[in-house]
A and B are shown apart, each in its own frame.
Chain A
Amino acid sequence: MNESSKLLSRQFEMENSIEGIFDFFEKCYDAGWTDGLPVYPPLERAVREMLRYTDYDPQEIIARIPPRNGIATVEKIAINAVMAGCRPEYLPVLITAVGAMVEPEYNLYGRQTTTHPGAHLLIIHGPIRKELDVNCRHNVFGHGWRANATMGRALRLVMINIGGNKPGVTDMATHGHPGKYSYCMGEDEENSPWRPFHTERGLSAETSAITVVCAEAPHNINDGKSMTPERYLGSAAGTMAIIGGNGLYRSGLPSEQMLVIPSETARWINDKGWSKEDVKKFIFENARRPVRELRDRGGWDMAPFAPGVDPNDDDCLVPIVGKPENLLVLVAGGDQRHMSAILTSGYNLSVTRPITLKDGAPIRSVQDYLSSK
Chain B
Amino acid sequence: MACERTGIPTATFVTDSFAAYAKVLCKMQGLETTPLLVLQHPVASRPESEVKDNVKALYAFIRGALLKGPNE
Contacts and interface: CB of A to CB of B under 8 A. Distances in A.
Do A and B share a complex?
Answer: yes
Interface of A: 66-69, 113, 164, 168-170, 172
Contacts, number: 20
Secondary structure at chain B's binding surface: helix, strand, loop or mixed? helix
Interface residues of B, number: 7
A161 to B, nearest CB: 14
Contacts of A172: 18, 21
Contacts of B3: none
B28 A170 contact: yes
A68 B21 contact: no
B44 to A, nearest CB: 11
B20 A68 contact: no
A164 B28 contact: yes
Contacts of A68: 28
Nearest to A70: B28
B45 interface: no
A364 B24 CA distance: 44
B29 interface: yes
B24 A169 contact: yes
Nearest to B26: A67
Contacts of A170: 21, 24-25, 28
Nearest to B29: A67
Contacts of A164: 28
B28 A169 contact: no
Contacts of A169: 20-21, 24
A66 B30 CA distance: 12
Contacts of B20: 169
A69 B27 CA distance: 11
Shortest 8 CB-CB contacts between residues of A and residues of B: A67-B28, A68-B28, A67-B25, A172-B21, A170-B24, A169-B24, A164-B28, A169-B21
Nearest to A170: B24
B28 A69 contact: yes
A170 B29 CA distance: 12
Nearest to A113: B25
A168 B18 CA distance: 9
A49 B59 CA distance: 60
A168 B20 CA distance: 9
A127 B21 CA distance: 42
B12 to A, nearest CB: 14
Nearest to A172: B21
Interface in B1-36: 18, 20-21, 24-25, 28-29
Nearest to A66: B28
A113 B18 CA distance: 11
Contacts of B21: 113, 168-170, 172
A66 B28 CA distance: 9
Nearest to A163: B28
Nearest to A169: B24
A66 B2 CA distance: 14
B2 to A, nearest CB: 10
A258 B29 CA distance: 32
Contacts of A67: 25, 28-29
A67 B25 CA distance: 7
A164 B27 CA distance: 12
Given A69-B29, A169-B20, A170-B24, 9 more contacts: A67-B29, A68-B28, A69-B28, A164-B28, A168-B21, A169-B24, A170-B21, A170-B28, A172-B18
Nearest to B20: A169
B16 to A, nearest CB: 13
Contacts of A168: 21
A164 B29 CA distance: 12
9 contacts: A67-B25, A67-B28, A67-B29, A69-B29, A113-B25, A170-B21, A170-B24, A170-B28, A172-B21
A69 B20 CA distance: 19
Contacts of A113: 21, 25
Contacts of B18: 172
Q: Indicate the member of B18, B20, B21 with the most A CB atoms within 10 Å.
A: B21
A263 B21 CA distance: 44
